[in-house]
Amino acid sequence: MSLDNIPAPFPQPLQKYSYEWASRTIQELDLYFQALRDNPDLSEFLVKPAGSSTYRTLSEIAATSTIVAQSGEAVSHTGDTVETTLRAVEGGAGLLGSNGSLLIHSIWSCTNSDFEKRFLTRFGAVGDAASHAGTAYGDVIFSTIAAYSEIKRIANRNNTAIQIGTVLDRSGGMGQSGVAPPNSTVDTEEPWEIEFSVQLEDAGETATLEAYLIELVQS
């Protein structure tokens, strides 16, 4: 088999080695999955993920979860009553596959009052956040609370351009709902984007995205 010109982060020559998987960036992961697609023989190449004592094949690692992005840096909004983007997080083309999922964990805080605060999580193509054009997979409105957290799931449905997600309007993203699950037709063979946004009823109040974590679960 030919293993010439394999992109980073693969070493030359290829050999069994300890691969610090947990430290990879999303750009390196994108190169990794592209290499796996373009070089099927690589699927049996053995590596040892960080913290593990067991060597595994690349195909086995591809079936596990990966952190796309995470941050504990707080981002706040105040001063108006229009929907406002706090974070827009880009994901690489092709990483989801036809049946992959995203798990989106978020922690929010806000002024505790009788005025309403709206928290949104959207999924769309890169650039959609500029006009809030992505599909809302989280859209909840609260008053008289000081903090909120949720976990959302977005799954490709045996197609890289058809998605379904957890219920839209329930606290935490779980439980019963009278609204059908959100769905979208984002082409995940192209780069995609997660948007976290807020909207205030009273411009003098504040809402904050305290932290987020986006996890990719391979199909």
- Report the C-alpha gap between 11 and 59 in whole angstroms: 18
Domain ranges of the chain: 17-63, 67-217
**Mean per-residue pLDDT over the chain, rounded:** 79
pLDDT in tens, 105-130: 999 999 999 999 999 999 999 999 99
User: Which tokens go with 153?
Assistant: 């799931």
Choice among 47-51, 83-87, 126-130, 206-210 with the minimum mean pLDDT: 47-51
Decide if 87 contacts 108 (C-beta within 8 A). no
Q: Give residue-wise pLDDT tens across range 64-92.
A: 667 888 999 999 999 999 999 999 999 88
Are the C-beta atoms of 89 and 152 separated by less than 8 Å? Answer: no
Would you call 22 helix, strand, or coil by DSSP?
helix
Task: Decide yes or no: CATH 3.30.70 for domain 67-217.
Answer: no
Q: Where are the alpha helices (DSSP H) in the chain?
A: 26-38, 58-62
User: Is the pLDDT confidence value at 50 over 60?
Assistant: no
CB 171 within 8 A of CB 150: yes
In the prediction, which pLDDT does 96 show? 84
- Helix H or strand E segment including 91: strand 84-91
Q: Above 80 in pLDDT, residue 149?
A: yes
- Considering only 64-78, 124-138, 150-164, which range has the smallest mean pLDDT? 64-78
Phi first, then psi: what are they for 177, rounded to 5°?
Answer: -155, 145
